[in-house]
Each structure stands twice: as C-alpha cells, then as structure tokens.
Structure 1
Amino acid sequence: MVHRTRCARAAAAVTLLAVGAAVLPAGSASAAEPLDGVWRMDGYGTVLSVAHGRLRAFQTTAVSCLPGEVAERSGPTARDGSVTYTTSHKDVYTVRPSDLPDSAALRVAGSPGERGLRRIGALPAACAHRAPSDPVTVFETFWRTFAENYPFFAAKGVNWQETYGRYRPRVNATTSDGQLFTVLRDMVAPLNDAHVHLYDGGARYFGQGRPGTVVPGPALDARVKAYVKDRDLRGRPLREFAGGRIGYADLPDGLGYLRVSGFGGYSADRDDPYTADEQALDRALDTVFSAERTRALKGLVIDLRVNGGGYDELGLRIASRLTDRPYLAYAKRHRDDPGDPGRFSRPQPITVRPAGAPRYTGPLAVLMGGSTVSAGETFTQALIGRPGRTVRIGENTQGVFSDVLDRDLPNGWTFGLPNEEFLTRDGRTFDGQGIPPDIREPVFTAGEFGHRRDSAFDAAVALLGGRG
C-alpha cells in the first residue's frame, strides 16, 4: 500500500494473496459491517476489499491488478465508526466512514492526513485472475505504474512516453532477468529520485540520490556523530535517546544542541512499532525540553544533516515542542488523474499544534544538507512557518518528500515511487532541488573533514549569540 519510506533499504516484502472469495477467519462474526465492500482510493493506484474483519489491498493500473497487503482487524469499532487494521509487518491502517454517501477515508499510522475512499461495486476485472509473469507483462506494469502515479516527469525533464518507445523494443519473451532489470533501472535512472527504487529480491537493487549528494546510512551517521562529539561538543556529553537516533547536549552561553538522525526505529518493540516510537520520542522530548531547560535556553541548534527519514508524524511531534501557537506545517496533495501528471487532489493542510508539555519557543538554527532526506525534509519544511526566529544553515536538502508507493511486479520483484507533493503556504514545492538554506555553508565535505572544520555548526552558534 502506501508507506513512509526508509531510505537506503529495499522495500519490505509484502504478502501476496490468491484472488478469490474472502475466507472467514475462525471466530469472526459473519454479519456484514458498514465498511465492508470494495473501495477505490483517490489516487495511489489502489483498491481495497474489506470483509469479515480483513482488509486486502490491490495494486491497480489500466493494464494490471496485483494483490498486495492483507491487514487484520485489530480493535473494536471506534465511536466515529472507524476500524483499525494491522498487517503482518505491523503497519496500521484506520478506515473511517465519511458523512458523504459511499465515501470513507484511510489513515496510515505515522503519515499525516487521510486518503479518500469511494465505494465501487466490485473489484476490477483484472483482479479476477493471476497476472502473467513474463518480461513483457512486467515491463508494461512497471511503465504504466509510473505513467499513472509519478508527478515529476516535467520537473525532471523526462518524457515518459518517449521512454516507453526507447525501451519497449528491448523486451520480449526471452529477455533474461538481468537484461530486464537493466532496462527497468535505466528507464528510471534519469529521474535522480531518492524515493524511486527497484529490487529483485536478491542481489540486484537500484536506488540513488540527487547528484552531488550522499544518501545517509549507518556508516555516515557513525562517522559524523563521532566528529561532532569530538570537534563541536569538545568533550561535552551528548546524551542519547531512542536507540541513539536522538542526542542532546548543553552548549556554553545558554545554547542547546539537538541531533536527530531519523524519525523512526526508536524502539525494539515489534508488536506496535509506531506507537512504541511515539512513546520513546515523547520520553526523549520530556527530558530534553524540561521546564527548567526551556526557561533557560537562549538558543537551540537542531542538527538534521544526516537524517534518513521515517515517519512524518514524529517530525510534527517534535515541532509541537517548538511553538506556543498552531501554524501550518505544509499542505499535502497527491496526483489523482492517471492520464495527467499535472492533476492533483485538493491540498490537505497539516497543522502543528502546541504540545501540552514544556515547549521551547526561542531562536532556532536548523542544520541541513543533501543527506537530510524524506521525513527529515518534511520536518525542515514544517519549521519554515514556525512562529519565532528560525534560520536554516547548510546546503539544500535531498529533495524527496512524498510517502512511497511500495509496488510489486508480476515476477515477484518490488519497486517504489512517490506520488505526493508537500506545499508551502504560498504553494511552492521543494521536490527535486530540496529546501534551500538561509545561510549557505559547506556540510561534511572532504575539505571540512580535512581541515577539522564544521562551518555550519560554527555559523549556527555565532548566529545564536554563542562564542563556540
């Protein structure tokens, strides 16, 4: 279905279901419920079948229908009529009925906003049989999925129809797996999109960042953390939380330093990972933003320069500790016309609301760069409209904001692509080029490492009135 991406990893395998009559789980009630039926999602190339306490997703295009995830009902019906479903990978989806007839909405845990659902009479005809897995069918499914969902062809200077004409003749019934993977990879490589990936389930994986940037990973994170502790903090303790993905240190002159290397993976709890991550984050924030510290802080540095993304909602949760009044974080919209890459849904405003806990509302310096990716960028964008002084320092972020549509191919391969935009109050989007800094400084270049410099950190401390 739709997941928040975890950059620099292959998409998790999803459960493939045989298409047919729904099987009644043992102990389930047989009576139909109000949300039972077949629903087409507004955009996202997805149809949902809900019956007997089970939600099944189908990935659809004009030429294909592939069974996707299955989720089991995981709680009672809420007061508003909504029902929650959980997959075997612990992704949580909540379906809520709408006031409009034959309408509902779906919320993905960790992703702000909702997806609209419209009731339809039956599954598409293509869902009634298993798709062939030959190379031509795989190619057509792959090309069509991008054609119907990817919003950035024009911005990337890619003519997708010409791409079809160039590569389709290279695929036939005898095309090998290696040859086919190369064709599909070469088709999407010019997009230079870190939210596009392709994986054959074995040794072949394709993913890339914007040219001139480095997609973050554990090795880069460890190197930079050690460098910051030694060079910038100069022996001052960096207290770590949430599995080491959040760190805080008090700096001289009443300043603070908050390092966030991701928005997820905070807890080892696999039964309800998103809720566990929320709780781990809240514990960290309660310690960092204590009443005593928030009163004393004169300035705060937030370091996002190596941030691999995760759940957007966790970024909003941190933003709620940095304001004393509600404000617009961004507006989300998705591509909603399979035939027109320029057609989008109505933007859905996402608001930062002050937390009911101690908050810091003073000057803020945000460190960022090309290894600030995905949810790291949506958090950066959520701070643009923050009341109070907020200054961005470093280099442009990676330039990928959308949730990732995780998709399957008939031969068992998986791939992913974006289909959303995150807009500023005045309707701008930073996809492709990334969010620019207010003050441009080099970020962890060879020259910075070689001369033992951290120009962005030093600029932030100076801006906030510290002496370094």
Structure 2
Amino acid sequence: MSYFKRVLVPCVLLCGISGFAQQINVIQNSSWLQEGYDRTLTLKDADYAYYNIDNVNCKALVEGNFAGRFSVVAATDSLLVLNPGGIVNYNFKRISALPANCTEAPLKDTLFEKNFKIFWLTFNDNYAFFKERNVKWQQIYNDYLPRVRKLKTEQEFALVLKEMVQKINDGHIRLEIPAALNSPTNKSATKPVKFRKEVFHDLQEKYVEKIKSYNNGVIQWGFLKNSKMGYIVITDMNNFANYIPDTAQDSKEFLKKYEEISEKKVPLELFTDELKGVEKVMEIILDDFRNTESVVIDLRFNGGGYETVALKLLSHFVTNSKKVLSVKAKTRDGFSANQDYNLIPSQNPYRKKVYVLTSHNTASAAEIFALGTLSYPEIVRIGSPTAGIFSELLWKELPNGWEFSLSNEVYSDSKNKSYEGIGIPPNYEINYPKEHSAFYDSFYTGNGFTDKALEKVSLLEK
C-alpha cells in the first residue's frame, strides 16, 4: 500500500490538529519515532515538539502549533504520515513514550574524541551517498581517530571536521562552527572576475529585449532578439510569494520587507504563499508569450530553494501527467520505501518548444526541476551537468553545540536512477567551468560577451 500519490501540497491548513482529532483519538498525548532522519515527535492537544536524536542526546529542534507545521496525510493507531509542506512525506511509528533523554537537558560535552565519534556515527547512520561519492567512511574513522586523540585546541578539531567534510565533497554538507575558529583564507591575487549581476546585464543587453521582472528579479523574462522565442531566467526557487507591491519589487528594501512578512508566517502558510506567487507570475509570463514559438528557461545561476516551487514552475511547461521522480530516506538499516511523485500540468501550460539551460551551478531544487524534465524528452537541456546535490539538508548537532547538515534523501528519476554526484546531463554539452568565478568569466572572450548556450538554441531553431 502506498501513501505517496499526491499533488504539490496535499492538505495544507485544512488537515490541522482539530480536523485530525475528529477522525482519530491517537493524536493527543502521543509520541512517535520518524522513519529515517533520527527524529521523534510528541503531540499534546494542539501543540507538538519535534526532536533531533543521536547516540548521546535528544534535543527539541522546533515546537509550536501543530496545524501550522504539518498536514496529515494518513493515520492509524500505529502509523502517522505527515507532510511538512514539501513533496516528501514523513512516516512516524507510534512509541509508548519519548526516549528518556528527550525529557532531560542535553549533555554538554567538549571532549574532542566524543564529538568526533558522534559526528562519524551520525553520518554513518544517516548519510546516503558514501558509495556514490567513493568515500570509505570506516577508513576515515580509522585514519582520523589517532589524530583526534592528540588534539589540543578547538581550532585543530574544527580543521579535522572540515577535512572529513571535504573528502565527501557534497555541497549540501554544512559545518557551523564558531567564527573565531575559522582560519583566515589567503586569496591569491587573480585577475578581476565578473559577478553574476554583470553577466545578467551583458546577457540581457546582447540577447534579450522587453525585459520584465518579478520580486526583485527572482524571475525575469523577455524575448530573444530577432526571434519568436521567449526567455525566462529563474535565479532562486524561493521568494515567489506575492507580499510586496509592484511599485516596491525592485527597491533596495525588498528583501528586508519580504523577510519581515515571511518570518511571521507559519510554515505551511508560507509554502502555500510561495506556490500562489508562482501561479500569479506564470499567468502573466505565459500571456506575454502567447505568440512565441518556443521558450528558453535559464537555470544556470540558480542555487536552489523549495522543491515545490521548482515543480510548480515546471508544471507550466508540460502537457501530460507523469511520474517524474521518487524519493527515499536513509535509515540505520537501509532505506525507507520509495515515494513516487507525479507531476500534474497546470491548467493552461505552455505547449510549444521548451529549452532548459543548466550549469554546474544549477543546484538542489533547481536540479529537481531539471530532474523532472527527464520524463519529458521533448524538453531540450543545454549547458553542463547540474551540481548533483538533491537531498534536503538534514541538520544535526554535536554534544559541544556545533551544528552540521548532511544529505539523507535519495532522489531518482522515473526509472529509479539517481544523479547524486554526477548531476542531470544536458542534451547538448557546453563544458562550463565548475567554479563560480570561472563560470562567469567564461561568457567573456577577446571578442566581448558570448552566450554559447543561447547561440546553440538559435542554431537548433533554424
């Protein structure tokens, strides 16, 4: 039996605590253990507490009103399936009570060996991609433990953890250590590099006309010169909510004002607002493009955001409902069951030729957009493989208080193939550099500015 056939946001605010309690009485004063993720949940009346657990501590990660944080997908006496606002549902198994250490103050432990072992064990239990990234994790433990036992300072310990992270080479691993422990970096003098803003300006100056913008440029669109082609560049997969009046969308205060509003929203409301914003702007864009013969969607500068936003955007450029991906989470014993995701086209999708531009800087949720295009061979990808980091960031904490994240979710295409570490391949390769500044510089030659991807699109359209 599968609980995972769903639309973009399954219940949102209508399946909150009160509606659920009318269906089943297990919600109150109950405790649950999440499959994968190493987290527990306790529910009492209309409130919840969500705990991170590891091999030492159990600490409240977030707590508050249940109805604003989760929607209920399914429930029995022993199984609770919740959705936090994304495309991945969370499975919880009923437990008689929270682990004892969840009701106790976390143990603060600054011993380097203890923190090293917890760091290693957490990755061992939750990280999904050692094989894909050719990492021998047990060997790393064996190599570093003797060194850790000789450490004298926190700065030395921080360096050890950084080295371990670098060996994995996963852009979704974050290591939050005190700023005072970060060693200063000596940047060698190099030629001045171009910045994204400059590339955007020169690209649009040479290739695009009648440019419009929404929400401070999170999405911009216009027409490729001397053609019947539309052009869209999407710089992030978030900040689409329609919170700011049109007259203030390009102001210097935009981000501050947007955050002031968004920070007051409960999570499910915020995610819903994001999707409503996508619908608003896409209706405008597709109306502008009604006389075009094809469209270019530029994701080369997009580092990610919300996967729901990415898939909602993609839904405006497909005409058939298809399975586009599946997701599973790493557990201590293997993996959870696959959750399939079916993309449903928007009511009035774009029905002509679609090109998608990607680079090594196309990451995370932007890659999920690219992953979805694999189910639609009529969509043509041009550029370089994407970054190869699809999972949500699973945040954990060491006994010394340092926080870190890892990748525990495996995203696969409709044929169950994962592109972690290798990225989504293009149909036509441009060979962009991986490093950001080199990528930006690659648009500039002795003859000025040239966009090889847009030049390729022009050739394909002839």
Aligned-residue offset at 1:282: 1.9
Aligned residue type for 2:417: R
Secondary structure of 1:253's partner?
A: coil
Unpaired segments of 5 or more residues in structure 1? 1-28, 74-82, 86-91, 207-218
Instruction: Summarize the Cα distance change of 1:94–1:169 in structure 2 as closer, same or farther, 3 Å threshold.
Output: farther
Alignment equivalent of 2:303, drawn from 297, 300, 308: 308
Alignment partners' CA distance in 1, 2:304 and 2:442 = 26
Deviation of the 1:308 alpha carbon: 1.1
Distance 1:54 1:170 in 2: 45
Taking structure 1 as the reference length, what is the TM-score of the superposition? 0.79
1:59-458 superposed matches below 5 A: 59-61=52-54, 63-73=55-65, 84-85=67-68, 92-98=69-75, 100-109=76-85, 111-129=86-104, 130-134=106-110, 135-172=112-149, 175-203=152-180, 220-233=195-208, 236-251=209-224, 252-267=226-241, 268=258, 269-270=261-262, 271-272=264-265, 273-290=270-287, 293-294=289-290, 296-336=291-331, 338-339=332-333, 343-356=334-347, 358-386=348-376, 389-443=378-432, 444=439, 446-451=441-446, 452-458=449-455
Counterpart of 1:70, as a letter, is: V
Name the residue aligned to 1:35: 27
Q: 1:172 to 1:33 in 2, by over 3 A?
A: farther
Structure 1 residue identity aligned to 2:164: M
User: How many pairs were matched up?
Assistant: 395
Write out per-residue CA displacement over residues 278-315 of structure 1, whole angstroms, 9 at most, x where no aligned residue. Answer: 2322221110012x633x22111000001010000001
Q: Secondary structure at the match of 2:135?
A: coil
**Alignment check: 8 A CA contact 2:360 2:384 kept:** yes
C-alpha contact 2:199 2:440 (8 A) present in aligned 1:
no
Q: Please tell me whether the aligned partners of residues 197 and 205 of structure 1 are also in contact (alpha carbons under 8 angstroms).
A: no
Q: Does the alignment pair 1:55 with 2:48?
A: yes
Alpha-carbon offset, residue 421 of structure 1: 1.1
Higher helix share: 2
Quote the offset at 1:250 in angstroms: 1.8
Corresponding letter in the other structure for 2:137: W
Aligned AA for 1:324? T
Alpha-carbon offset, residue 190 of structure 1? 0.9
Paired letter, 2:173: V
Larger deviation: 455-464 or 113-122?
455-464
User: Per-residue CA shift, 1:359-395, capped at 9, x if unaligned?
Assistant: 1021111100100010010011111112x62111011
Equivalent position SS for 1:183: helix
Deviations 1:175-215 (A, max 9, x none): 42211111111112111100011011435579xxxxxxxxx
What amino acid does structure 2 have at the position aligned with 1:248? W
Aligned letter for 2:413? T
Distance 2:328 2:308 in 1: 16
Are the equivalent residues in 2 in contact too, given 1:54–1:70 (CA < 8 A)?
no
Q: Deviations over 1:155-178 (max 9, x none)?
A: 212111111122222335974221
Could you give the per-residue CA deviations for residues 120-144 of structure 1, whole angstroms, max 9, x where no partner exists?
1122234343223223332222111
Q: Which amino acid aligns with 1:186?
A: E
| 1:76-100 per-position Cα deviation (integer Å, ceiling 9, x unaligned) | xxxxxxx524xxxxxx3334442x4
Q: Is the 8 A contact 1:198 1:416 kept in 2?
A: yes
Cα 1:72–1:442, aligned 2, differ >3 Å: closer, same or farther?
same
Distance 2:45 2:120 in 1: 34
Secondary structure of the residue aligned to 1:244 is coil
- CA distance in structure 1 between the aligned counterparts of 2:196 and 2:399, rounded to whole angstroms: 36
Give yes or no for contact 1:365–1:464 (8 Å, CA) kept in 2: no
- Code of the residue aligned with 1:266 in structure 2: it is F
- Per-residue Cα deviation, 1:387-416 (whole angstroms, up to 9, x for no partner): x62111011110000111012222221111
Q: Calculate the TM-score normalised by the size of structure 2.
A: 0.80
**Contact 1:242 1:281 (8 Å CA) reproduced:** no
Report the secondary structure of 1:351's partner residue.
strand
**Aligned-residue CA RMSD in angstroms?**
2.3
